[in-house]
Amino acid sequence: MPNASAIAPTLATLAADLATGRTTARELVEACLDRIADPASEGASAFTRVDGASARRAADAQDALRQANAAPSPFAGIPIAIKDLFDIQGEVTTAGSKVLADAPRATADAPAVARLRRAGFVFIGRASMTEFAYSGLGMNPHFGDPRAPFERAAGRVAGGSTSGGAVAVADGMAHAALGTDTGGSCRIPAAFCGIVGFKPTARRVPRDGAFPLSTTLDSVGPLARSVACCASLDALLRGAEPQTLPPRPVAGLRLLLPTTLVLDALEPEVAEAFESAVARLSHAGARISAEPMPELAEAMALNARGGFSGAESYAAHRALLAERGAEYDPRVAVRILKGADLSAADYVDLLAARSRLLPRVTARLAAFDALLLPTTPILPPRIADLATDDAAYGRANMMALRNPSLINMIDGCAISLPLAGRGGAPVGLSLAAMADEDSTLLAIAAGVEAVLAGP
């Protein structure tokens, strides 16, 4: 399976085609809608709602503005999928759950959604997700389990929680997706579906109007087909104008490859693809240091009893769980309920422990430009192996989340780039840096992407 970024257009390509008249917004939307409606596609499980009429009207409006030289941005008219936990004015935000189906309609767009709308993106549909964003696998008993492109007939998970958005981009049902990332929810599905996923610094993009999982760790980020696509979307999401992204040369980069935790129990295809990528980067002149990073073990320990997600999700859900708990996905409910076991003192201790950890992580990384690690240690598991086996589901979920969740805990930013493993197996390579180093990280990722795409 070639990665999606190698076979499908980037936002820059689409913008150029729109500018020169080689395509129109209406044509792009019709192609995405056709793909969604194709019975052989994952459209039925990748979206919780598609409003073709609204998307066509928006596309026609952007085409008219472009003809009048009044397009709001070069990306005006490009179809994008919106994760189902974001408010869209006039729609119900279900967050992948049936218990919110009768909730009031949103009275305004979430800020992230509003910024994409102002740029002229066409909302092709609400992308499906793990219920309430609480899993790294992407399975959902209410709306179905979108399948990753790899070995689709066998049925492998797409990764969570932004499962539908990743599948939509990989399959050409949208050209980008808006997601969130609390412990890997942009990066895991990107890795499992062969695309790029970016987790910005948590405070970089407003999280208002997005149903929360963890008010401490939630981040709003894009999934797309290239680093440059993600950089453009990130700029718009933080309220800035997209700029050309100059790749930072790989030669001379100082990369820390931690030997603590992140290389443990790699599946063979992941190990082979990652080691090959590391060798290519080293050959291109990167100075890669493989050494222990004990702070990562401390970060993992902070999540042992559910961490911030457990405590903060329970605070958000306890009333709804008491009233309608039987309607939740049981695998999500059990994780939320773990938060009930954390006392106020436990939560204060957690905050203090993280505050003590962050300066030591910053000091550890001071001599390096970025961290380098596998996005996940595993390939996307088979849905059939997890469907009725809670223990297998729990193990797979823990492994999928293990590496990416460490970056959220250390308040970092991170990006997952696609690698093609043996037999086309999807593998993710992650680069990470500390908070507010997002722009530098994106430039580094663009340079790494170029090396990995080379012969």
Cβ 83 vs Cβ 165: under 8 Å: yes
- The phi and psi torsions of 70 (rounded to 5 degrees) equal -125, 20
Q: What is the domain range of residue 169?
A: 1-293+362-455
Cα–Cα nearest to 313, from 450, 214, 431, 412:
214
Cβ 228 vs Cβ 245: under 8 Å: yes
Residue 8's pLDDT is 86
Residue 343 included in any domain: no
- The phi and psi torsions of 353 (rounded to 5 degrees) equal -65, -40
Cα–Cα nearest to 386, from 375, 402, 397, 378:
397
Q: What strands lie across the sheet with 79-83, from one edge to the other?
A: 47-49, 122-127, 79-83, 177-181, 219-224, 196-199, 412-420, 426-434, 370-374, 254-258, 287-291
**b/e map 252-280, b = 16+ CB within 10 Å:** ebebbbbebbbbeebbebbbbbbebbbee
Residue 106 included in any domain: yes
Mean pLDDT by 10 residues, the chain (455 residues): 60 98 98 97 98 98 98 98 98 98 97 98 98 98 98 98 98 98 98 98 98 98 98 98 96 98 98 98 98 98 94 97 97 97 97 98 98 98 98 98 98 98 97 98 98 92
Prior bond of 161 cis (ω within 30°): yes
Tokens of 435: 């908070």
Residue 7's pLDDT is 56
Residue 305 included in any domain: no
CATH number of the structural domain spanning residue 424: 3.90.1300.10
CA-based end-to-end distance of the chain: 17
Sign of CA dihedral 25, 237, 449, 272: negative
Task: Return the number of other C-beta atoms located less than 10 Å from residue 309's C-beta.
Answer: 27
Residue 333 included in any domain: no
Task: Return the number of other C-beta atoms located less than 10 Å from residue 355's C-beta.
Answer: 9
Residue 44 included in any domain: yes
Residue 1's pLDDT is 40
Provide CB contacts within 8 A for 328, sequence distance 6+: 97, 99, 131, 321, 336
Residue 250 included in any domain: yes
Q: Provide the number of structural domains found in the chain.
A: 1
* Burial environment of residue 435 by CB neighbours within 10 A (0 to 12, 13 to 18, 19 or more): middle
Give the residue numbers marked as catalytic.
83, 161, 185
Residue 312 included in any domain: no
H or E segment and range at residue 434: strand 426-434
Residue 194 included in any domain: yes
